[in-house]
Amino acid sequence: MGESKMSVRERFRRVMRGEPVDRLPVIEWIPWWKETQDRWVGEGLPPGLSYEQVQRHMGLDGHRWIWLHPRGILNGLRPAGWARSQGLLARPEDYERVAEVLHAGPQFDPASWRAVAAEQARGEVFVWMQIDGFFWFPREVMGIEGHLYGYYDQPELLHRINQDLLEYNLRAVRQLCEFLTPDVMTFAEDMSYNHGPMLSKKLYDAFMAPYYRRIVPDLKERGIVVTVDSDGDIMPVIPWLEEVGIEGISPLERMAGVDVAVIRAAHPRWRMIGAFDKTVMHLGESAMRQEFERLLPVMRSGYYVPSVDHQTPPDVSLEMYRLYITLLREYAARGASR
């Protein structure tokens, strides 16, 4: 099966279905740190390139990432002098301003979506949609500390936020799907750290699961693969997500102890994207090959796309990153054989 016979989109969709491919996708799932790209410009990368342009320059498979979040509007509501970690609310009643934004619904220019839809229809890219999730967004609104205390001190407000977010997300998905149907979507959550989830199963069942159960069926009926994005050790969370119909997760951070081989043994059809330990990328070919060998059995199991387990750090030179891409291509071919 020659590579020319399989489009970028077809290859990705087949991997997500556990079907044979000519090779695995060769992608960078998230934009590079600005500091990383600045370093590369000093080492010969043309300046001023967008995320998509860097993908093409590096010879990566193309994908388009559409994040349907209200953050751009909400940032204007942040109290003067407040850090993002403090949220948007100086007082609980300030949520009324946030609610107005959510109730107004998504405000997007669909012109760019038409262009992406054409690329997708030609098979040149797959489309990755991301929406704010039911742990992520309350934290954006209430701040880190206010959010975690809010489970106990302001449960009614938390439910109101997530109900408003649910309605916003449903409208956003419907609006986008008038132009194109994403191939995969992600709930942005960041609900774990390096010692596990930042909330209990009891709190998850009360404050997150009901809202997942309202939107996940809508997404899956459209043929969209439904995943969650979370840093940290997400292994304990996977059964929770499976209960509400979620099908996969990224980025699978090795520094947090995530072991994709253990996940695959327990969850044979669980979709995974990421998992390559970013901390070895600056160490040279031998270290990178050792990391790819760790991942190779999981590549061959299907339902998995190897990629960096978070944004490539600035200690990775342009030369080392190009070597990483060369090795990724090699192992993407080897990983397609079973």
Would you place residue 335 in the very low, low, confident or very high pLDDT band (cuts 50, 70, 90)?
Answer: very high
Residue 112 has pLDDT above 60, yes or no: yes
Per-residue pLDDT tens over the stretch 196-240: 999 999 999 999 999 999 999 999 999 999 999 999 999 999 999
Radius of gyration of the chain (CA): 20
One-letter amino acid of 252: L
* Domain definitions of the chain by residue range: 1-63+252-338, 68-230+240-250
Per-residue pLDDT tens over the stretch 38-76: 999 999 999 999 999 999 999 999 999 999 988 666 777
> At 260, is the secondary structure helix, strand, or coil?
helix
Architecture of the structural domain at 68-230+240-250: Alpha-Beta Barrel (3.20)
DSSP 8-state code for residue 335: T
d(CA 297, CA 5): 25
User: Which pTM was predicted?
Assistant: 0.94
Per-residue pLDDT tens over the stretch 159-182: 999 999 999 999 999 999 999 999
Burial of 230 (0-12, 13-18, 19+ CB in 10 A): buried
Determine the pLDDT at residue 72.
64
Residue 60 in tokens = 């990566």
Would you place residue 338 in the very low, low, confident or very high pLDDT band (cuts 50, 70, 90)?
Answer: low
